[in-house]
Amino acid sequence: MRIINFISLSLFLFSSCATIIHKKQYDVFVHSNQENSKIIYNDTIYDLPDTISLKRSKNNLNITFLGDSIIRDYTIKPALTDAFLIYNLIWNYAAPVAYIIDLQTPKRFYYGHKLFFDTNDTSLVIIPEYRKSFENYFYTPHPTKRNQFNLFISFPHINSFHLKPHGEEPKINTGFWGISLGLEYFYRANKYININANRVSDFYVPIPASPSIEGTYEAMNSTYISVSDNFKFNRFTIGYGLCTAYNLWEVRDGTYMDIDQKPFENIAQSNYSLGAVLNIYQRILDELYLGVIYRPTFLDINNHDRLTYEHLISVSLGWKIRLHE
């Protein structure tokens, strides 16, 4: 029984959303603004309005429209389904193979749920509304100019630490809160230099609060300065550069101490390190950005230039304020 359950669970985890949800063919309602019109699809004539069955494909769909003294050959563009764009994006964290499966199937495409032939529109290309929204979101230009300066205020709210204090086992924890202030200079219309000062922590409460902690606990924080070269395309920016960081690991005691008790002496280790920084941001609103920062360090200059790997991964939300152009 356990083997059967295991196989069933494995098949479920490694199955993809589009493969499970969608069939190879689906029904589409077709109509027009002209009465007594028809379409020809796959050598079959349909009187409009009508519901026809279309086969999912990544290729364009060709349909001939017949109206009063009008014969037009239309091209319908395919679009990715919401199941592929949204559900798999979420499910990918649990079963990344599912996304690979969906990339191999035409079930991830469709031509819209309704097709409307407007004889007053001279365009012979029909694009599903979902694809229009998708393309408008990702490909609408957000122009920047050479010699433009931006102030970038961000909050690296989720921070995952991997620190290696001298003489200790690796310390790993994920927590919240941070602040960052940066200055951007565009030396080209789509490339800019960013100088950033950051302070992040692994505080365990994601909302503003002052909780009490009993007993000893570990805490980590990092302060670092980075300089990066960044490339901007559509809604995305990708940057790479160098950083210098001050990493701190502590063991604290949150227990209330009586006057007769011996106070706990905090254990703390810190280092100054040199490393790199990689980041990717997406513009989710006009000047609002959501991004991920990967900041590895390799050289511990506190301890005789000790080579050691540490890293910080942050999820950050930020605003850009144009200062000068």
Mean pLDDT computed over 265-284: 90
In a domain, 46, yes or no: yes
pLDDT of residue 19: 53
pLDDT of residue 132: 67
In a domain, 6, yes or no: no
Q: Which of 113, 139, 165 is the last residue of a domain?
A: 139
59 and 202 co-located in one domain: no
174 and 312 co-located in one domain: yes
pTM of the model: 0.66
User: Exposed, middle or buried, 159 (CB in 10 Å: 0-12/13-18/19+)?
Assistant: buried
The Cα 227–Cα 224 span in angstroms is 10
Task: Inform me whether the pLDDT recorded for 97 exceeds 80.
Answer: no
Q: Which two tokens stand for residue 9?
A: 């669970």
In a domain, 4, yes or no: no
Q: Which of 105, 139, 173 is the last residue of a domain?
A: 139
Task: Inform me whether the pLDDT recorded for 163 exceeds 50.
Answer: yes
53 and 82 co-located in one domain: yes
If one counts every other C-beta atom within 10 angstroms of the C-beta of residue 89, the result is 11
In a domain, 10, yes or no: no
The Cα 287–Cα 189 span in angstroms is 17
Whether the CA torsion 19, 25, 29, 30 is positive or negative: it is positive
Helices marked H in the chain: 2-13, 17-21, 82, 88-91, 96-102, 129-139
Residue 281, domain CATH: 2.40.160.20
The Cα 159–Cα 293 span in angstroms is 9
- Count the domains in the chain: 2
In a domain, 154, yes or no: yes
| DSSP string over 276-315 | EEEEEEEE-SSSEEEEEEEEEEEEESSSSSEEEEEEEEEE
135 and 230 co-located in one domain: no
pLDDT of residue 92: 44
Task: Inform me whether the pLDDT recorded for 135 exceeds 90.
Answer: no
Those residues with Cβ within 8 angstroms of residue 90's Cβ, 6 or more apart along the chain or in another chain? none
pLDDT of residue 240: 97
Q: Which two tokens stand for residue 70?
A: 């009008």
Residue 168 carries which DSSP code?
A: S
130 and 177 co-located in one domain: no
Q: How far is CA 170 from the centre of its chain?
A: 28
Task: Inform me whether the pLDDT recorded for 93 exceeds 90.
Answer: no
User: Exposed, middle or buried, 123 (CB in 10 Å: 0-12/13-18/19+)?
Assistant: exposed
pLDDT in tens, 19-77: 555 678 889 999 999 888 999 998 899 999 999 999 888 899 999 999 888 899 999 98
pLDDT of residue 104: 53
126 and 183 co-located in one domain: no
pLDDT band at 275 (very low <50, low <70, confident <90, very high): very high
In a domain, 63, yes or no: yes
Question: Can you point out the beta strands (E) in 164-286?
Answer: 171-188, 191-203, 216-233, 236-253, 267-283
166 and 248 co-located in one domain: yes
293 and 155 co-located in one domain: yes
Q: Which of 90, 112, 139 is the last residue of a domain?
A: 139
127 and 155 co-located in one domain: no
pLDDT band at 291 (very low <50, low <70, confident <90, very high): very high
The DSSP bridge pattern shows strands 70-76 and 191-203 to be unpaired
If one counts every other C-beta atom within 10 angstroms of the C-beta of residue 4, the result is 8
25 and 135 co-located in one domain: yes
If residue 65 lies in a helix (H) or strand (E), which one and from where to where?
strand 61-67
Task: Inform me whether the pLDDT recorded for 128 exceeds 50.
Answer: yes
Task: Inform me whether the pLDDT recorded for 228 exceeds 60.
Answer: yes
The Cα 83–Cα 134 span in angstroms is 14
In a domain, 75, yes or no: yes
238 and 193 co-located in one domain: yes
**Unique residue bearing structure tokens 């924080």:** 221
Task: Inform me whether the pLDDT recorded for 17 exceeds 60.
Answer: no
pLDDT of residue 11: 39
78 and 168 co-located in one domain: no
Across 203-215, b (16+ Cβ under 10 Å) vs e yields: beeeeeeeeeeee
Residue 134's domain comprises 16-139
Whether the CA torsion 249, 254, 259, 262 is positive or negative: it is negative
In a domain, 291, yes or no: yes
Q: Which two tokens stand for residue 18?
A: 């589009």
Average pLDDT over the chain, rounded to whole?
82
pLDDT of residue 91: 45
